[in-house]
Amino acid sequence: MNPTKSCRINAVRIVSRMVLASLLASTMARADEPDRRRAVARSDRAGDLASLRVGLRKQLFVDDFIVSEKQRVTRELGIVTKVNEGQPIFTDGWFYGTVLHDDGKFKLWFRKPGTQGFGYAESADGLSFSKKADISGINFAGDYTLAVEIDSAETDPRHRFKAGYDAPGMAAGIAHSADGIRWIPYHDGKPVTKRAADTYNQILFDPEAKTYRLFTRTDFGTAGGLTELRGTRSMTNPAPKTNPANWTLVREWIFDKEGKSEAQRRQIYATTCWIYEGVYFALLSVYDSPGDVSEGKVSDTRKRHERDVMNFYIATSRDGDSWDMHWVYAGQPLVPRGPDGAFDKDIVLPASTIVTHADKHWIYYAGANERHGNEQVKFDRKHAIGLATLRLDGFLGLSAGENAGTVVTKPFKLEGNALLVNVDAHRGQASLEVFDEFGQPLDGFCGEDVVPVTERDELRWHPRWKKHADLSALRNKVVRLKFRLRDAQLYSFQISDEKANQ
């Protein structure tokens, strides 16, 4: 068949499938409010696809925000690599805490052993940390939780670092610092929320919504004991520096998709948020089979347990509230617990945020070699800090097997000259065609003009065509991209302002 004719037939199929998908989507309703809001938002976007703004921002394939149609591909969770052969990299403390990369170095805020407060350490390579100081100025309630952020919107250097912590009354407090070591609490050290605060309390600036967010624990049952029901909440405040207690509740939630009995299966222990390329990632500490010590009531630091354990999952969102919890219910943690005898075999608790440096993501976490325990049964365990890494943008990707799959984007205005694609085709092949906003093929960018990439793993693949080295000929036009994958994984793409080398 003539390649151009084939491309046009594909274009007709794309448009037909898009119309059918739109009709089906309009008849669907979600049962819970967050999912319904997300469906409405997607329907609104579908009504004016050409207005979708991409600009020069990287587009992640963690969801279907940019996707119009996909065939024979599945979304898969990325596979992390535990460094140091799965052994801890820091044994003198644990989390709740934070690692940031700042001023050319890794900075670690860690909970000291026992009830000794918080320490601060630095590293040049992210693996070997040297303790530098003890944290001062924060009036901890006694659980010693600290989540540190660098405020990208702050102009006063005295407030560059902001942190959430457990304030007296076991409610969230917030503080600021110029150096991350010497802190001054806001609100005269008084809590800025109600109970609870005995896990993470995270304050961060949201550049998407241009407001500050606060994530904390909250109670749905009693404050501790056998009837404790752990939940989480999120709040916003446009100006915490001048009005630190002016937090507006966005939502409080628990795991209850499976009904009230789900509390016996899982509870949310802590939630923090990491914002990357316009996507909100929830770092979820999930308490699985809480209080169930049926695998043994005596400490066993050798056997890997499956009940009364804590796992680290991720969820994604486009608004910082409506979270896609698929990976929780699929039972797929981002950083799996270790095997028998490992330091992290029973508990994995993430740092409050994720570091992106040197073309990979650095995922620090605390591990423990025994279960959580309950009011009647206490376990002896050791805590340490470990590190896992992940390829750039590799949290979630669209994967195709031997039978080629396709991914077609929604139409968007092309505001640059070139395209950078993060794709792993080291075992297969990937290629790209370009259509107009109506799904019609663009001459020179479709069919036989396509130049595929074969048996390569590229973080920044520059697609080329026989007649074009880049997309500069299409600049300011509204286009759709069609990726074709065979034995390959697609993670992201980004429009660039630079022209490709001829």
* Dist. CA 299–CA 50, nearest whole Å: 60
Q: What is the mean pLDDT of residues 359-370?
A: 98
Question: For residue 311, what are the β-bridge partners?
Answer: 286
Mean pLDDT of 107-130: 94
What pLDDT is attached to residue 209?
96
Which pLDDT score, from 0 to 100, does residue 21 have?
Answer: 43
Query: Is the alpha carbon torsion for 166, 169, 171, 177 positive or negative?
Result: negative
The chain-wide mean pLDDT, for the chain, equals: 90
CA separation (Å) from 370 to 228, 297, 304, 310, 387?
Answer: 21, 11, 8, 10, 19
DSSP string, 389-436: EEETTTTEEEEE-SS-EEEEEPPEE--SSEEEEEEEEEEEEEEEEEEE
Mean of pLDDT values over 329-354: 98
Q: Which of 240, 155, 145 is nearest to 197 (CA)?
A: 145
Phi-psi group of 153: left, alpha or beta (phi > 0 → left; psi -120 to 50 → alpha; rest → beta): alpha
pLDDT of residue 20: 40
pLDDT band at 39 (very low <50, low <70, confident <90, very high): very low
Total-model pTM: 0.90
Report the pLDDT value the prediction gives residue 500, as an integer from 0 to 100.
Answer: 64
Inform me whether the pLDDT recorded for 319 exceeds 60: yes
Count of CB atoms within 10 A of residue 331's CB? 10
CA distance 304 to 341: 7
| pLDDT grade for 115, boundaries at 50, 70 and 90 | confident
Which of left, alpha, beta for 291 (phi over 0: left; psi -120 to 50: alpha)? left
Cβ proximity of 309 and 302 under 8 Å:
no
Condensed to tens digits (0 to 9), the pLDDT of residues 405-453 reads 999 999 999 999 999 999 999 999 999 999 999 999 999 999 999 999 9
Amino acid at 468: H
pLDDT number for residue 193: 94
Domains of the chain: 3-77+397-496 (2.60.120.260), 81-391 (2.115.10.20)
Task: Identify the H or E element spanning 451.
Answer: strand 450-451
- Is the pLDDT assigned to residue 159 strictly greater than 60? yes
SS (H, E, C) 170-186: CEEEEEEECCCCEEEEC
State the pLDDT at residue 50.
Answer: 52
Q: Tell me the two tokens of residue 467.
A: 């007649």
Tens of pLDDT, residues 326-341? 999 999 999 999 999 9
What pLDDT, on the 0 to 100 scale, is given for residue 365?
Answer: 98
Give the chain's radius of gyration (CA, Å).
24
The mean per-residue pLDDT over the stretch 51-77 comes to: 95
Taking the C-alpha atoms of residue 400 and residue 463, their distance in angstroms, rounded to an integer, is 19
| pLDDT at position 411 | 96
Q: Can you tell me the distance from the alpha carbon of 33 to that of 445, in angstroms, rounded to the nearest whole number?
A: 42
Query: Mean pLDDT, to the nearest integer, of 261-270?
Result: 95
Token look-up 């049964």 returns 377
Integer Cα distance of 226 and 213 in angstroms = 31
Using alpha carbons, select from 206, 154, 144, 208 the residue that is nearest to residue 177.
154
Q: What is the pLDDT of residue 142?
A: 86
Cα 8 off chain centre by: 38
| Residues 372, 309 contacting (CB under 8 angstroms) | yes
pLDDT score, position 219: 86
Alpha helix (H) ranges present in 183-338?
Answer: 326-329
Q: What is the DSSP string of 251-289?
A: EEE---TT-GGGGGTEEEEEEEEEEETTEEEEEEEEEES
- pLDDT-derived band at 22 (thresholds 50, 70, 90) equals very low
